[in-house]
Amino acid sequence: MINLEVPGKFGALLNQARQAAAEIFRPNSRKYDRAEHTYPKELDIFAALLDGVNASGEGGGGASGVRRTESGTGIRNGANMSTVLGTMELCWGDLGFLLSMPRQGLGNAAIASVANEEQLTRFGKLWASMAITEPDTGSDSAAIKTTAVKDGDHYVLNGEKIFVTAGERSDAVVVWATLDKSLGRAAIKSFVVEKGTPGMEVVRLENKLGIRASDTAVIRFADCHVPAENLLGNPEISTGFAGVMQTFDNTRPLVAAMAVGLAQAALEETERLLTQAGIEISYDIPINNQSAAAAAYLAAEADWEAARLLTLKAAWMADNANPNSLEASEAKAKAGRVATEITLRCVELCGTIGYSENALLEKWARDAKILDIFEGTQQIQQLIVARRLLGKTSAQLK
């Protein structure tokens, strides 16, 4: 049975994460929202601290990759749970800062998911972003057109990737490409392409609605030669897409955790402002007997709690070596939608303060939208959940 209390052994880690969020992330949040594409230098100190924490075996400080392990005997709360909990705390501070943290990119989760032991050692210290989306390929990852053609002891990559989070700043990019378009999903593999590799070019950076502290790049690959040993996991085509898709079982709970942390920040600030305005929020009085503002707040908080518990469940299952693809999509779908709805509702409840740049509420509402889009849109998550619950294939339920 899942214990709904936060494991006591993560107390020190979460306290450190909350301190960083409160003292580094949030105080500089507006500064880098206004200075888009500027790297937050304040993160360098925190990244060095995080490296020390990870080296000590505690882990879980940010959006780093987490590796699925065998559960053995007993119930485990390990790297997946600590990373999810740490991500919640840091996104309470600022989502864009978390996405800009060195060596904590979404590509690191991909490496942790499917890399072999030698690759884990070789790429373990890199900051890796992840490149999946293409100009003509969004939610349908199986339709990827970027090609990888074997040439001796290298693969030659050709194609273009868009919306690559931390694509300019990272040390390497985990690129999804197909070995043979005619074979469909089974031929899709992921490759670690290190910065400076000839044929790889960052074409431009996108100006965005939110998460402006994080850079979002367009990257082009033109006859880019990548060592064959940089293909993550098993090079056999028969195990292609299943291995690549395992990445999402790790990254979707992380994105859900980002949404939970961001929504928590908005709820706490809204509660403070409502209380300051003389509006009482009670947990002892039926919701129908409270003011409209208090009732709206309590409904939003209940939605937030549901998203939080789904996220913890997905992480717990991964720690205990249980298949969690369904739960990862459920958490991502719920939390992504909850974050956008809660932050917009908080802006509304706080009136002019919510809409003004004098508070962070309007920024959080802008930041939240990406959480309902990247790592699989809301609609795609619902489709995945429906397929699994109904026992349908992607061909049967589109």
Q: Which residues are catalytic?
A: 375
- Look up residue 67 and give its DSSP letter: -
Q: How many residues does the chain have?
A: 398
As a whole number of angstroms, the distance between CA 300 and CA 165 comes to 29
**And the tokens for 39?**
């790297």
SS3 of residue 151 by DSSP? strand
CA neighbor of 176 nearest in space, from 219, 119, 125, 124: 219
Residue written as token pair 């709970």: 253
Q: At what angle do helices 325-349 and 292-319 cross, to 10 degrees?
A: 160
21 residue type, one letter: A
Under DSSP, the state recorded for 25 is I
Q: What share of the chain is helix, strand, coil (3-state, %, to 5)?
A: 55, 15, 30
Q: Which residue has the tokens 């996220």?
A: 311
Inter-helix orientation angle 106-114/240-276, to 10°: 140
Q: Closest Cα to residue 200, out of 220, 177, 184?
A: 220
Residue 277 CA to residue 49 CA, distance in Å, equals: 40
Using the structure block, give the residue that is written with the tokens 């206004």: 34
Burial of residue 324 (CB within 10 Å: 0-12, 13-18, 19+) is buried
CB 94 within 8 A of CB 347: no
